[in-house]
Amino acid sequence: MDTIKTITTDELEQKLKNGEDLLLVDVREDEEVAEGMIPGAKHIKMGEIPESLDQFDKDKEYIFICRSGNRSGNVAHYMQEQGYKVVNMEGGMMNWAGDTAAKK
């Protein structure tokens, strides 16, 4: 398997504070995102990713997020195999110290 690029929660928080335009995808289940997600993240459950490929652009880079970094890592591998540019957020929301917002 090819190596997946990763980003730490601190690095991601800094990029967001700097106003970088990032494409965040939270792959957790509904009850998990109900506890809060990173503002601006799009919620697509892990199991719905294969049927949601039309929502992604192969020219853009996506940062995948889950609770601990495992599911998002699996999604990142899958998406990379499909030809997408991906980054996995290490440590997931368990390590996220930044702002969270309720799912819209």
pLDDT reported for residue 102: 83
pLDDT reported for residue 2: 73
d(CA 15, CA 57): 21
Report CA dihedral (20, 96, 39, 25) to the nearest 10 degrees: 80
pLDDT reported for residue 1: 54
pTM: 0.95
pLDDT tens-digit profile of 3-57?
Answer: 999 999 999 999 999 999 999 999 999 999 999 999 999 999 999 999 999 999 9
pLDDT reported for residue 97: 94
**Catalytic-labelled residue, pool 49, 66, 79, 89:** 66
Query: Is-catalytic flag, 66?
Result: yes
Report CA dihedral (38, 17, 73, 82) to the nearest 10 degrees: 100
> Residues 82-95: what's their mean pLDDT?
97
Residue ranges covered by each domain of the chain: 5-94
Q: Which CATH number fits domain 5-94: 1.10.10.60, 3.40.250.10, 2.60.40.1930, 3.90.79.10?
A: 3.40.250.10
Residue 76 CB neighbours (<10 A): 26
pLDDT reported for residue 103: 75
> Residues 71-87: what's their mean pLDDT?
97
